[in-house]
Amino acid sequence: MKSKWRISLTAAVVAVGLLAPITVSAANAAPVEIPLWTHNGGNKAELADVNLVVKDFNASQSKYKVTVKAFPQINYNDAIVASAAANRLPCIMDTDAPVVPSWVYAGYLSPLTVDKKITNKLQTSVKGSYGGKLYSAGFYDAAIALLARKSTIADAGLRTPTVAKPWTLAEFNDALAKAKASGKFDYALSLGTGWDGEWYPYGFSPLLQSFGGDLIDRKGLKTAEGVLNGTAGVAWGKWFQNIFTSGLAPKKETADQRDNGFITGKIAYQWNGSWAAASAAEKLGDDFIALPPPNLGTKAYIGGGSWQWAVSSSCANKAGANAWLQFALQTKYLTKFADDLFNLPITPDATKASKIFGPGSKYSEFATFSATFALIRPATPAYPVIAKIYETATKDIINGADVQKTLDGAVDQINKNLKDNYYYVKKK
């Protein structure tokens, strides 16, 4: 008797489930589906926030229905490139900031039509522009800082650097030498060499830029000659190489050194992103301090640009996709993305509202670093190639290769790629 009842109940549920969408769609015109892809399949907190924005948007109007598909980050770019080749891109997708020009060039993206009043408020580093048009906008940014202990600085008798007056090259070198000489640490500095890929240009090209070099001549974006391998570039390479050859930093960090070396006190300073600050602060308490990037010659720099949202060129409902993005750029969501995920808020309003990064709050300096020092990676379709060449060259320099020869070789490869691609100007 009981089992029979259960069967009929199941049947009823199934029947209702089958009928429900039909009856709804019969009642009022079905909302247009807008597929959205995101890279944060492995990041529960971020995915939850994306889902929240989507849920709110779908409830706020009846014209569009955004559907979310999450991918693991490591396969995400491959999935996009493969589906672009098969002409099956979703409407809305997130993109890693420096890749945007390359995807625009490949014809994957269409310009955003979000209200300019809204996008004008966004910090430059989260806007993906190419050829004078805006193609992507981010909900947050990240900032690199030199993570340290107040006690390390005090014990060494060093000046605490400020945003207005960061450490100079001599002061930074002195700090590292003293940390090593103190004998308290395995290494003076962790540079994140335990990561591969995009960390190299993101983390290390700001140091190169601080010396006065760059990945490519930003005027015209047609050559790297004299910029990457010029006097400033070579000075950066020799300085950077010396950090490793003199044993100040590990050439290839183990995962443990990278993730725990600084917070367990085995490494004195760490060049790391805002994402690592929360766990460091929790462990070190009041002794923790995030120092501004050093000024190694011309100016202090950190990388700008994190994940951003874009609309595909094959999207059938670009208006709906832009409507979602416009909806998502509300201050309350931007604040939530910042505070939930320990990312930096990127509008003045969101910064003010942020409990973590707002003025006078615990990590407000990160927002200042991002606003003061951020420099986006060169906006050229060649960027993914340049990034790979730079990564290889930097690894060679770390491992003791001749700096001038290595950078000359990198320049030749970059310039050859630019030339082979007709300088990325679309031919008719």
Partner 1 sequence: MQSKVKKQNAAKRAENKTARWLAAPGLILIGIFTIIPISLALTLGFTNAQLLAPTNPDFTGLNNFKTLLGVSAVTLHAAKQPDGTCAVDENGEIAYEPLRPLTRDNSPRKDLRGKSEVKRIFANAEKCSVLVVVAGDPVFWRSLTNTFFFALIVVPVQAGLALILALLVNQRLRGRNFFRTVYFIPTLSSMVVISMLWRFMYQQDGLFNKSISNFMPGYAPIDWLGNPKTAMPAIVVLSIWQAVGYHMIIWLGGLQTIPAELYEAVRMDGANKWDEFKHVTIPGLRHTFVFILITITIAALGLFVQINVLTQGGPLDSTSTLVFQSFTRGYQRQEIGYGSAISFVFFILVLVIALIQRSMTKRLDT
d(CA 373, CA 135): 23
Which of residues 51 and 73 has its CB atom nearest to partner 1 in the complex? 73
Residues 63-92 that bind partner 1 (CB under 8 A): 81
Q: Where are the alpha helices (DSSP H) in 182-272?
A: 199, 205-211, 231-245, 255-260
- The one among 68, 217, 408, 423 contacting partner 1 by CB under 8 A: 408
Query: Does 385 engage in binding with partner 1 (CB under 8 A)?
Result: yes
Which of residues 107 and 348 has its CB atom nearest to partner 1 in the complex? 107
Specify the stretch interacting with partner 1 by CB under 8 A; choose among 12-20, 324-332, 340-348, 395-403: 395-403
Q: Cβ contacts of residue 241 below 8 Å, gap of 6+?
A: 397, 398, 400, 403
CA dihedral 302, 304, 306, 310 (to 10 degrees): -170
Query: Does 252 engage in binding with partner 1 (CB under 8 A)?
Result: yes
Nearest to 247 by CA among 308, 330, 179, 338: 179
d(CA 378, CA 220): 11
Find the distance separating the first CA and the last CA of the chain, reported in whole Å.
Answer: 76
- The one among 64, 71, 103, 309 contacting partner 1 by CB under 8 A: 103
CA 281 to chain centre: 21
Query: Does 102 engage in binding with partner 1 (CB under 8 A)?
Result: yes
Which of residues 2 and 426 has its CB atom nearest to partner 1 in the complex? 426
Q: What's the min distance (Å) between Cβ of 415 and partner 1?
A: 6
Q: What is the size of the binding site for partner 1 (CB under 8 A)?
A: 34
Query: Does 242 engage in binding with partner 1 (CB under 8 A)?
Result: no
Q: What's the min distance (Å) between Cβ of 384 and partner 1?
A: 7
Q: What's the min distance (Å) between Cβ of 401 and partner 1?
A: 6
Query: Does 312 engage in binding with partner 1 (CB under 8 A)?
Result: no
SS3 250: coil
Q: What's the min distance (Å) between Cβ of 380 and partner 1?
A: 13
Q: What's the min distance (Å) between Cβ of 55 and partner 1?
A: 34
Specify the stretch interacting with partner 1 by CB under 8 A; choose among 17-25, 48-56, 272-280, 406-414: 406-414
Reduced DSSP (H G I as helix, E B as strand, rest coil) percent helix, strand, coil of the chain, to 5: 50, 15, 35
Query: Does 200 engage in binding with partner 1 (CB under 8 A)?
Result: no
Q: How many C-beta neighbours within 10 Å does residue 311 have?
A: 29
d(CA 176, CA 189): 7
Residue 278 is encoded by which pair of tokens?
């929360």
d(CA 366, CA 345): 10
Query: Does 389 engage in binding with partner 1 (CB under 8 A)?
Result: yes
CA dihedral 249, 251, 252, 253 (to 10 degrees): -10
Query: Does 222 engage in binding with partner 1 (CB under 8 A)?
Result: no
d(CA 345, CA 367): 7
Which of residues 111 and 320 has its CB atom nearest to partner 1 in the complex? 111
Residue 99 is encoded by which pair of tokens?
């890749």
Residues 409-428 that bind partner 1 (CB under 8 A): 409, 412, 415-417, 419-421, 426-427
Query: Does 314 engage in binding with partner 1 (CB under 8 A)?
Result: no
Please name the amino acid found at residue 423.
Answer: Y
Q: What's the min distance (Å) between Cβ of 347 and partner 1?
A: 32
Specify the stretch interacting with partner 1 by CB under 8 A; choose among 8-16, 174-182, 283-291, 404-412: 404-412
Instruction: Please answer whether residues 188 and 269 qualify as being in contact, where contact means their C-beta atoms are separated by less than 8 angstroms.
Output: yes
Which residues of this protein are in contact with partner 1, per CB under 8 A?
A: 81, 102-103, 105-107, 196, 225, 251-252, 254, 381, 384-385, 388-389, 392, 395-396, 399-401, 405, 408-409, 412, 415-417, 419-421, 426-427
